[in-house]
Structures are given as structure tokens and as C-alpha cells.
């Protein structure tokens, strides 16, 4: 049931995407492939028209019109979850001589830099006059003459020259560049991610998206205690995540009234925990509305007073959906490294107050008991506060 394209690509380059572990998933494989292709199609829209199809765990991306932005498209595809490696391949005529010439020029710099190499050929056009092995031997032998410094090594070559003889042309490419890895966004369901302006929650969101989870973002905003710049910063962070996650909706929740009520009626040492319980309750409401099946936070065990095991138990207790904390076992240093890699770090460290920092108690409770928490909450009309906050939600949609 392999798909045969009905027309040749326009231009002389195409992309090959190598799919990762999703290939192992048996019957789900087709669903995963479809999702990957759909995600690729959507992300590539602004770079031109492309034909996208999968064959033998490779997804082919071919320009359908002149003037496609190939550099932009390649950069975008390198952030597409579900792809472990991606190559840019050069088309040429289907003759051994043309293939050799293309390998020499297109991979010239790679051939100069490598000390060992091998050639690997594939033929989907079985009318080609050489077998794959004969073609590899021919191209390998000739390359060796043209680049005498490089040695053939069939087992651990520094460079593999790939040749593919296909329906409309032959293609030559070198080793694939690393892809984003993970699973295509959407195959893992949908979850609501609690996004603050800090370093951690963008990384937590990214990690779950990498596992194929489609995200809806929730941000709690305490105007005038926090500035409009603090909100813009969070929207910028969400925007920075879209090249990885695709289009994102940020649900901005007005949180001021809840915080003021807490300050008026509850013991200061419990502020943070009570606040976080409200965040979880409201996020669960959002999840119900958008059909999400989990919540995500950027908590890491022991990082601050509200991130002890007891504190997490107390905050998770108000909701029935599973709470995912992908950073729970990570050190700050590892989190920072990831934040730099995905491009959120510089924005996260901009100095705008978050609603949590504004109301931080001087002596926060680190080992709370559920009874004292529920006792403190008895002074509040929880349902009314949650409802009012949900009613006041503002939605911002961000495109990659």
C-alpha cells in the first residue's frame, strides 16, 4: 500500500524525515504517521506548497511549486516532534554518472571533513540497470579516487552517502541532522499546562509536548499586583513554544480577587498552598471545557517550600485529573540547560513579578496537613470564587 507520487517535485531538493520510536507501535503506526504528516503540513504552510507522504518509516516532503522557502521549512521541521533525523536531499538524473557527480558536489564539504565513509543505496525503481550493491560499489569506488584521504569503512563510517533511485529522479544525501525526537503532538491526548513566567513551566510544557501531548495553557494573572509586562512575558513564552507545540491557546485567568480573599481570611503561612489549590481547581475546569485529560506543572521536588511531597499531595488533592510534573526529578541546572536549548531561558529570566512571588509568605508551611488546609478554606466561598475566575477568563490564540 505504498503511495506513489503522481508528479515530480518542483526544484532539485526534497526533505526526508526519519520517524522515531513511533515506528515500533504496531497498529498505531498509521495513526502516528498521519498525525506527523498533518502536523508537518500545518507548520509548512507559510513556507510554500509541499507534497507530504510516508513510505517505509520515512516521511517525504517535496516542494510542489517554485519559490518554496527551503531553509525556513528545514528549520521548522527540525522542531517537529516525532522526527528523529532529517535530511535535505539533492535530486539528479537517474544515471550512475549523474549520481556520482551530485555526490561529489553536493556532499563536497562532508567528504572533505570525514576520514571514513560508506555508500548506501536504495532502489524503488527496479528498472534501474544496477543493483543497489553495484551502485554503492561504483559510487564508493569513484568517490575514493576523487577524495583519496577518505577510507571506506562498512561498519563505523564517519559519513554515510545515501543514494535513492526513485520514481522521478535519483536523490543523494548525507547523514541526517538530529530531529526533535519524541512523538507527534496530538497522539498523546491533550492536557492543560499551568504556565507562569518562570524558567520551569515552559520546560515542563515542552517535555509533555515532546511526548505527543497537545497543550492548552493556563496563566493566572493578578493585576494590579503584577504588571501588564508580566502577562506579556508569559504570552511571549507561549509564543516561543509554538514552533514545538503548534498553535497554542493561553487562558488568562483573573486571580486578584482570590488572592485578596486569601490574605483577608487565611493564615499567611498557608497562602502559597491555598493559592495553588485554587490554581488546580480552575485549571481542572478549563480542562473539562477543552476536553483535556491531565494537568501539567513545572514543580520539581524540594525546589521551594510548596514543592515538598506533602505540599504536592495537598495541591493535587483538589482535582481528579492526573497531575503531570515532568521536572519532578530534575536539578535546576538540567532544567536551565533545557530552557536554553528550547529558547525560553532569556525570556524567563526577565525581571517581572509573578503572582506567587508577590504574595509569598515569610514562613511558608512546608509539611502541611490536609485538615489545617481545609479548615483555613472554610472561611471562603470556594465555588463562587472559582466560578467568577472561570467566567473572567480571556483567551489568547498564538500561531507558530
Residues at the contact surface with ligand ATP, assessed by CB under 6 A: 194-196, 198-201, 218-220, 279, 297-299, 303-304, 306, 354-356
52 binds, among Mg ion, ligand ATP, none (CB under 5 to 8 A by kind): none
78 binds, among ligand ATP, Mg ion, none (CB under 5 to 8 A by kind): none
CB nearer to ligand ATP: pick between 195 and 385: 195
Q: Provide the pairing of β-strand 170-173 with 159-165.
A: antiparallel
Query: What is the spatial distance between Cα 231 and Cα 240, in angstroms, rounded to a whole number?
Result: 14
CB nearer to ligand ATP: pick between 11 and 364: 364
Rounded-to-10 torsion of CA 141, 143, 145, 146:
170
In the block, residue with C-alpha cell 527551503: 70
Query: What is the spatial distance between Cα 393 and Cα 395, in angstroms, rounded to a whole number?
Result: 6
Q: Which listed residue (76, 121, 196, 344) binds Mg ion by CB under 5 A?
A: 196
CB nearer to Mg ion: pick between 149 and 362: 362
Check if the beta carbon of residue 353 is closer than 8 Å to that of residue 227.
Answer: yes
Region 328-367 residues binding Mg ion, contact defined as CB under 5 A: 354
At 195, list the grid cell.
Answer: 504556565
201 binds, among Mg ion, ligand ATP, none (CB under 5 to 8 A by kind): ligand ATP
Q: How many residues bind Mg ion (CB under 5 A)?
A: 3
- Asked if 307 interacts with Mg ion (CB under 5 A), we say no
CB nearer to Mg ion: pick between 164 and 354: 354
298 binds, among Mg ion, ligand ATP, none (CB under 5 to 8 A by kind): ligand ATP
Check if the beta carbon of residue 173 is closer than 8 Å to that of residue 90.
Answer: yes
Grouping H, G, I as helix, E, B as strand and the rest as coil, residue 320 is coil
Helices marked H in the chain = 29-44, 70-77, 96-106, 108-113, 132-146, 200-210, 228-245, 256-265, 271-290, 309-316, 332-342, 345-348, 355-358, 370-377, 382-391
- Asked if 202 interacts with Mg ion (CB under 5 A), we say no
The residue number with the shortest CB distance to ligand ATP is: 198
- Asked if 198 interacts with Mg ion (CB under 5 A), we say yes
Q: How far is the CB of 296 from Mg ion (least distance, A)?
A: 14
CB nearer to Mg ion: pick between 196 and 300: 196
Q: How far is the CB of 242 from ligand ATP (least distance, A)?
A: 18
The sheet carrying 394-398 orders its strands as 323-324, 295-296, 190-194, 214-221, 248-254, 394-398
CB nearer to Mg ion: pick between 89 and 305: 305
Provide the binding-site residues for Mg ion, judged by CB under 5 A.
196, 198, 354
Amino acid at each position: 500500500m505504498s503511495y506513489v507520487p503522481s508528479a515530480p517535485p518542483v526544484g532539485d531538493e526534497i526533505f526526508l524525515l526519519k520517524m522515531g520510536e513511533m515506528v515500533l507501535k504496531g497498529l498505531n503506526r498509521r495513526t502516528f504517521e498521519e498525525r506527523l504528516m498533518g502536523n508537518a503540513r500545518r507548520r509548512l504552510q507559510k513556507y510554500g506548497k509541499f507534497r507530504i507522504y510516508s513510505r517505509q518509516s520515512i516521511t517525504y516532503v517535496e516542494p510542489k511549486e517554485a519559490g518554496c522557502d527551503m531553509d525556513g521549512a528545514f528549520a521548522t521541521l527540525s522542531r517537529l516532534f516525532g522526527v528523529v533525523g532529517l535530511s535535505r536531499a539533492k535530486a539528479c538524473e537517474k544515471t550512475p554518472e549523474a549520481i556520482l557527480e551530485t555526490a561529489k558536489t553536493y556532499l563536497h564539504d562532508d567528504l572533505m571533513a570525514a576520514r571514513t565513509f560508506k555508500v548506501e543505496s536504495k532502489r524503488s525503481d527496479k528498472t534501474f540497470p544496477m543493483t543497489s550493491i553495484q551502485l554503492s560499489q561504483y559510487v564508493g569506488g569513484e568517490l575514493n579516487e576523487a577524495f583519496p584521504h577518505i577510507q571506506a569503512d562498512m561498519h563505523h563510517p564517519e559519513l554515510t552517502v545515501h543514494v535513492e533511485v526513485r520514481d522521478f529522479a535519483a536523490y543523494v544525501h548525507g547523514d541526517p541532522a538530529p530531529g526533535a525526537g519524541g512523538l507527534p503532538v496530538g497522539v498523546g491526548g491533550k492536557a492543560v499546562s499551568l504556565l507562569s513566567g518562570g524558567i520551569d513551566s515552559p520546560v515542563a510544557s515542552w517535555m509533555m509536548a515532546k511526548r505527543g501531548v497537545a497543550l492548552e495553557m493556563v496563566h493566572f494573572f493578578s493585576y494590579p499586583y503584577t504588571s501588564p509586562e508580566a502577562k506579556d512575558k508569559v504570552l511571549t513564552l507561549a509564543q516561543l513554544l509554538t514552533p514545538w507545540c503548534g498553535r497554542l491557546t493561553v487562558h488568562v485567568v483573573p486571580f486578584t480577587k482570590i488572592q485578596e480573599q486569601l490574605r483577608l481570611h487565611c493564615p499567611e503561612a498557608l497562602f502559597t498552598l491555598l493559592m495553588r489549590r485554587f490554581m488546580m481547581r480552575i485549571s481542572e475546569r478549563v480542562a473539562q471545557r477543552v476536553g483535556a485529560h491531565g494537568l501539567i506543572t513545572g514543580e520539581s521536588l524540594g525546589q521551594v517550600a510548596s514543592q515538598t511531597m506533602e505540599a504536592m499531595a495537598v495541591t493535587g488533592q483538589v482535582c481528579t485529573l492526573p497531575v503531570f510534573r515532568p521536572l519532578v526529578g530534575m536539578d535546576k541546572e538540567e532544567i536551565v540547560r533545557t530552557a536554553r536549548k528550547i529558547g525560553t531561558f532569556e525570556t524567563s529570566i526577565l525581571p517581572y513579578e509573578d503572582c506567587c512571588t508577590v504574595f509569598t509568605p515569610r514562613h511558608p508551611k512546608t509539611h502541611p496537613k490536609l485538615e489545617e488546609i481545609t479548615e483555613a478554606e472554610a472561611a471562603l466561598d470556594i465555588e463562587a470564587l472559582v466560578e467568577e475566575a472561570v467566567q473572567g477568563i480571556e483567551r489568547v490564540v498564538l500561531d507558530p
